Amino acid sequence: MSTSLLNQPGEQPPGRVRVASEVVASIAALAAQEVVGIAAMCEPAGVNVSLPLHRQHAHRGVKLQMVGDTGIKLDLYVAITPQASITQLADQLQHKVAHAIHSMLGLDAVEINLHIAEIEGD
């Protein structure tokens, strides 16, 4: 991903900003963790990633794919709490993650897929 910094309309940007895929995934994972009912992020195979998310593990549980220059598709793998309402949780998670990705990176989340890998406590 690249974006201009402090440039005026019509001016050449002074440089580029590149954001590692792991950082993008970490932003999505940390936003997802703020949603009530999300117990943990999981690896795609269903392995629970320990909480709290540490920097080196924060991107786990998220797969991403760029769509064009400013779009992104995300797959989030989560463990939920037993009392979670999946429909409400999914709606909140998609909105919160889309907002975080857009506000921090300027990217549009064109697709956010939720994969429930386990129910915490089962």
What structural domains and CATH numbers belong to the chain?
21-119 (3.30.70.1350)
Query: Taking the complete model, does pTM exceed 0.95, yes or no?
Result: no
CA 9 to chain centre: 31
Confidence tier at 48 by pLDDT (50, 70, 90): low
**Comparing 11 with 115, which gets the higher pLDDT?**
115
pLDDT tens digits for 69-110?
899 999 999 999 999 999 999 999 999 999 999 999 999 999
Give per-residue burial for 48-67: e unless 16+ CB within 10 Å, then b. Answer: bbeeebeeebbbbbbbbeee
Percent of the chain with pLDDT over 70: 79
